[in-house]
Amino acid sequence: MLESPPPNFDQAVLPHLDVAYNLARWLMRNEQDAQDVAQEAYLRAFRFFPGFRGGDARAWLLKIVRNTCYTWLHVNRPMRDAAEFDEKLFAPDSPVPNPEQAVLQNDRDALVRRALESLPPNFREVIVLRELEGMSYREIADITGMPAGTVMSSLSRARGRLRQVLTALSSGHAVATSPRIAAMNA
């Protein structure tokens, strides 16, 4: 039986450029910073690719992106969290809405964006990886370094908190947040 040759960087890592950038954009909350961090993460991935032992290249790359983001944030923005919500809630095959539906959808998008931005970074991170990037619990565990059971419980708590925030925002109430999260979002 012939062994397949190890993948090269272009084959294994480059297809995941969009996912890596999306995670960086979410965590950095700033377009330029996300571009810089994604570039730095790709340089790190390229430099350490000879040590890549195979497996899931996407999870390996996203772990590098995540660590690069948090390192950058720790140095450059102490006590601030990072996230940006820029996903569209329309499915690809959704019919084109009329103007009234478009306005209502934009309002819902803004509401969800505000709700997600109010979550603590660890909750926001697992929701982005699971719900927006469609990653498995195992992949999220590999990226974050958490056990799979912790990923599941974090997702459950994050979804519950997101539900609370959405309810409060949709009823016009202020979102209750800890003083630390308020300071981080300032």
Instruction: Kindly list the distances between the CA atom of residue 171 and the CA atoms of 30, 68, 123, 168, 176, in Å, as whole numbers in the listed order.
Output: 29, 38, 22, 5, 13
Domain 99-185 belongs to what topology?
Arc Repressor Mutant, subunit A (1.10.10)
DSSP string, 92-149: TTPPPPPHHHHHHHHHHHHHHHHHHHHS-HHHHHHHIIIIIT---HHHHHHHH---HH
> 9-76 has which CATH code?
1.10.1740.10
DSSP string, 48-102: HGGG--SS-HHHHHHHHHHHHHHHHHHHHSTT----------S-TTPPPPPHHHH
Q: What is the pLDDT of residues 67-91, one digit of tens each?
A: 999 999 888 876 554 344 444 444 4
pLDDT for position 120: 86
Query: Does the reported pTM lie above 0.75?
Result: no
> What are the residue boundaries of the structural domains of the chain, listed by start?
9-76, 99-185
pLDDT for position 58: 92
- Backbone Cα Rg of the chain: 18
Q: Cα separation of 150 and 58, whole Å?
A: 21
- 171: pLDDT confidence band, cut at 50, 70 and 90? confident
Give me 14's structure tokens: 């480059």
